[in-house]
Amino acid sequence: MKTSFSFIILISFSWAIGLKGLIIPENGHVLSMASTGIAGGFSPGLNPAIHESEHSYIQFSLNRWFADIKGSHMAYQWGRVAPQTISIQSWNANDLELWGEEPNSSPLGTFGVHYMSAAYSISHNLNTPCRFGI
């Protein structure tokens, strides 16, 4: 009991320190829905269990955000009985200024950040009326 309580507290604190920031929208449609389109089935990244499609498709997205933050996303979906999707996403920002603890008229230097992720999802009904997805 004590171990499980400690584990729950540890997970709660780790979520509070910013792990939610790792969930980055894969395209403009998902971003505009603010991840509320879980029941819509338009993105396997939000809910792979509902994802059904009559045809295969490939999707490309090039994104440019504020302050020259650039990103790209590619997804490929195939399969009728068990739709499967694989996607690759990347974001980067260069020439970010590094400022110190004390006020100064110029930054200490510049740096860049790069983020890349890959995802795979599959949806299947497992011979039941319900669909399951991972």
pLDDT, tens digit (0-9, with 9 covering 90-100), for 92-112: 988 888 898 888 889 999 999
The residue to which tokens 């819509």 are assigned: 40
Q: Which of 47-51, 56-60, 117-121 has the lowest mean pLDDT?
A: 47-51
Whether the Cβ atoms of residue 114 and residue 90 lie closer than 8 Å to each other:
yes
Q: Which two tokens stand for residue 110?
A: 């510049």
For the chain, what is the domain count?
1
End-to-end CA, the chain: 29
With the CA atoms of 101, 103, 105 and 107 taken in that order, what torsion angle do they form, in degrees rounded to the nearest 10? 10
The pLDDT value given to residue 109? 92
- Residue 43 pLDDT greater than 70, yes or no: no
- Residue 51 pLDDT greater than 80, yes or no: no
What range defines the domain where residue 35 resides?
2-133
Question: Collapsing DSSP states into helix, strand and coil, what is residue 37?
Answer: coil
- Residue 31 pLDDT greater than 80, yes or no: no
